[in-house]
Structure 1
């Protein structure tokens, strides 16, 4: 993935076994089944085009579940900058669909001092996303 630039170790990049549209549909269905809300679905390619620029197919989805996120924000209000959760679905130069997700369970503890037990619900997100793109 070096050809696409560096990223923090907390950002996981998954390759989807499905095309772009099917990947988004599968992710949304998996989130809904898990009880997560989708707060926003931003077509970043479309936004770029309105500014006269070009961008590969790229969608930013903000999602979460207040039952998981509220205890984090109650423990440390600064941690709210990491919530809701977000993922980016994008198409690489070969036409494969990729998913980037910042695993906040890796960052909320060390950066915000959130206790491990509060992060347990957020630790499940990685597995949910992995299953959706297989």
Structure 2
């Protein structure tokens, strides 16, 4: 018998609802398994302690007063948020990117149509080479 099965049978075992065969299986498992024996013992102690606590009676109108307080404090709760709420910012961001791409594309074609050529952006200015050392000698023939 597994520990999970033994634990699931606790109430039936304590209430005497198990067949003789099943009861002996649980008893044998508890005898052999320290973890289940300890758990059964702890549950027994908790139940014994709670049974020895004094009981009290609630006032006769307790339930009525409790229900009236619950009804008077009921508030209308807003509808739960949509499960797709997380998608809205992403869709808005995607739409913004598409609009910006369209504007830039339109601007490029508009400018190229006016001048006859596509605009060229010079990322690296024309380089000038400067020498840090002495001028190279040229041999004259």
- Provide the TM-score with structure 2 as the length reference: 0.17
Structure whose CA Rg is larger: 2
Structure with greater proportional strand content: 1
- Provide the TM-score with structure 1 as the length reference: 0.18
Structure with greater proportional helix content: 2
